[in-house]
Amino acid sequence: MTAQTSPAMRSGVADMTPLGWLAAAGVVAVLAVILWAMGRTPICTCGDIKIWHGVVKSAENSQHITDWYTPSHVIHGFIFYGALTWLMPQSSFLTRLLLALGIESAWEIVENTNATIERYRTATIALDYYGDSILNSISDALAMVVGFTLASILPVWVTVALAIAAEVFTGIMIRDNLTLNVIMLLYPIDAIKAWQSAGG
């Protein structure tokens, strides 16, 4: 039996047990505890909890449940599913999901360090960014789980099409997306920053 046709590789969200979902919830809970220990605020300091906050250039960005960067975390799930299925074809869906959650959680922790926050503020258009609330970080991790789960169900071409559509749509709407975010964090380009800053 080849790796491509093994039961492990065919396993997906339908094979998840309540214990598996509990393990995934445990990873998210550990993330919340670590962020709390780092001094992150549980919710927006404005005192509100919004399902959606759509103003990128504001102190409330990355403070609520969803925002314009939520699609980026769904795409994280797409990428993690594809990469981990390729690298670990014999592993179960749960194993890959927990690993993906670990990677996503690690990024959320790094993203909320002072060094990364300052990098965002100097290299990107996020001048009012002071880190995520714990609520937002948990929501981002859950968005990754949604993307990971969708990728396990949908045909590859549909997953790729959704990722491209999300990147194009957010790029048009806010002049930012996952691709531009990575570029500006790793190798800031003045022309891109000027174009983004000129947006509404």
Phi, psi of 60 (to 5 degrees): -90, -5
Tokens of 143: 């968005």
pLDDT band at 1 (very low <50, low <70, confident <90, very high): very low
Which of 71, 67, 69, 27 minimizes the C-alpha distance to 51?
A: 67
pLDDT value of residue 29: 98
CA-to-CA distance for 134 and 43, rounded, in angstroms?
A: 6
Residue 137 has pLDDT above 90, yes or no: yes
pLDDT band at 189 (very low <50, low <70, confident <90, very high): very high
* pLDDT tens for each residue of 20-57: 999 999 999 999 999 999 999 999 999 999 999 999 88
Q: What is the pLDDT of residue 198?
A: 86
- pLDDT, averaged across the chain: 91
Q: In the predicted model, is pLDDT for residue 8 greater than 80?
A: no
Residue 168, pLDDT score: 98
Q: What percent of the chain has pLDDT over 70?
A: 92
What's the pLDDT tens digit per position in 100-119? 999 999 999 999 999 998 88
Please give the Cα distance from 153 to 13 (Å, whole number). Answer: 8
pTM of the predicted model, to two decimals? 0.91
State pLDDT tens for residues 82-91: 999 999 999 9
Judged by phi (left if over 0) then psi (alpha if -120 to 50, else beta), residue 135 lies in alpha
What is residue 28's predicted lDDT score, i.e. its pLDDT? 98
Separation CA 163–CA 146 (nearest Å): 13
pLDDT at 4 over 60: no
Locate all alpha helices (DSSP H) within the chain, ordered by sequence. 7-10, 18-37, 70-87, 93-111, 114-123, 134-153, 156-174, 178-186, 190-197
